[in-house]
């Protein structure tokens, strides 16, 4: 009797799978993917390293920064002009220690993919505590 019951259960299981009423195996959720690009406010060497597509270095904004005194770099974004407060909002969004110190400054030729001399305004996040600073000795 025990064998008859076992055979009946196996037959029923096979019939259920064959008819498609069995639940399919759960596929595990894909693992979180990392973007691999630097966020705004982190150090950089080239535009292609930044999620914003814009890497600022101190030489782009002379005389605001004198490369003989300081080396600095930061993934940043463009802003509207000297009186623009967007940079302070951006610094706060990226948890800068001093977001009120962020400012919009002029920069020259900051895009890697545009070799022509041109002027834009960018967010200087260095005073806000974001980016990388290396003092020249």
User: Is residue 135 within 8 Å of 72, Cβ to Cβ?
Assistant: no
Lowest mean pLDDT among 3-12, 60-69, 105-114, 120-129: 3-12
pLDDT of residue 128 exceeding 60, the answer is: yes
Give pLDDT, residue 15.
45
pLDDT of residue 34 exceeding 50, the answer is: no
pTM: 0.69
Say which residue, 137 or 59, is predicted with more confidence.
Answer: 59
Give pLDDT, residue 6.
46
CB atoms within 10 A of CB 88: 21
Give pLDDT, residue 107.
92
pLDDT of residue 79 exceeding 60, the answer is: yes
pLDDT of residue 1 exceeding 60, the answer is: no
> Which CA distances in Å does 73 have to 26, 61, 62?
46, 11, 13
């Amino acid at each position: 009797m025990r064998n008859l019951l076992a055979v009946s259960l196996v037959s029923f299981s096979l019939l259920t799978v064959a008819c498609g009423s069995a639940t399919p195996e759960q596929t595990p959720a894909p693992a979180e993917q990392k973007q691999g690009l630097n966020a705004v406010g982190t150090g950089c060497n080239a535009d292609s390293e930044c999620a914003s597509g814009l890497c600022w270095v101190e030489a782009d904004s002379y005389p605001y920064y004198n490369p003989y005194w300081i080396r600095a770099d930061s993934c940043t974004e463009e802003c509207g002009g000297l009186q623009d407060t967007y940079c302070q909002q951006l610094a706060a969004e990226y948890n800068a220690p001093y977001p009120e110190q962020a400012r919009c400054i002029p920069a020259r030729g900051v895009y890697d993919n545009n070799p022509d001399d041109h002027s834009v305004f960018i967010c200087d996040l260095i005073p806000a505590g974001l980016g990388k600073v290396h003092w020249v000795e």
